Structure 1
Amino acid sequence: MTRTMTQIYDPGRTAVLLVDPYNDFLSEGGKLWPRLEGVATEVGLLDNLRAVVTAGRRAGLRVVFVPHRRWQEGDYEGWDHPNPTQRAIQERHTFALGTWGGEFHPDFQPAAGDVVAREHWAQSGFAGTDLDHQLRQHGIGHVIVIGLLANTCIESTGRYAMELGYHVTLVRDATAAFTPEMMHAAHELNGPTYAHTITTTAELRRTLENGEQ
Structure 2
Amino acid sequence: MALLIYDMQVGIVRQLPNGDDYVRACVQLRDAAREGGFRVVYTRHMSLPFAMAGVTQLRTALAWQHVDDIADIHPAFPPGSPQHQLVPELTPNDEEAVFDKITMSAFAGTPLDIALRDIGIQGFAVAGIAMEVGIEPTVRHGTDLGYLPIVVADACGAGHPAAAERSLAALEFAGGSLTTDVATLTKLLRRHRP
Alignment of 1:171-182 (within 5 A): 171-182=152-163
Unaligned runs of 5+ in 2: none
In structure 2, which of residues 10, 15, 27 is the aligned counterpart of residue 23 of structure 1? Answer: 10
Deviations 1:79-128 (CA, angstroms, capped at 9, x unpaired): 345474244477242222232111111011121211222x2212111111
- Give the TM-score taking structure 2 as reference length: 0.85
Closer, same or farther in 2 for the Cα pair 1:46/1:82, shift >3 Å?
Answer: closer
1:189 positional shift: 2.9
Cross-structure match for 2:89 = 107
The reply to whether residue 200 of structure 1 matches residue 173 of structure 2 is: no
The alignment of Structure 1 onto Structure 2 pairs a total of residues equal to 187
Where do 4+ consecutive residues of structure 1 move more than 6 Å? none
Tell me, in whole angstroms, the C-alpha distance in 2 between the residues paired with 1:116 and 1:175. 18
Cross-structure match for 2:60 = 85
8 Å CA contact retained: 1:144, 1:170? yes
Cross-structure match for 2:170 = 189
Unaligned runs of 5+ in 1: 1-13, 28-32
Give 3-state SS (helix, strand or coil) of 2:188's partner.
helix
Closer, same or farther in 2 for the Cα pair 1:82/1:67, shift >3 Å?
Answer: closer
8 Å CA contact retained: 1:170, 1:195? no
Letter in 1 for 2:136: E
Q: Which has the larger share of helix?
A: 2
Alignment of 1:1-213 (within 5 A): 14-27=1-14, 33=15, 36-38=16-18, 40=19, 44-76=21-53, 79-82=54-57, 84-87=59-62, 88=64, 91-117=73-99, 119-211=100-192
- Give the TM-score taking structure 1 as reference length: 0.78
8 Å CA contact retained: 2:143, 2:149? yes
Tell me, in whole angstroms, the C-alpha distance in 2 between the residues paired with 1:125 and 1:83. 19
What's the RMSD between the two structures over aligned residues? 2.3
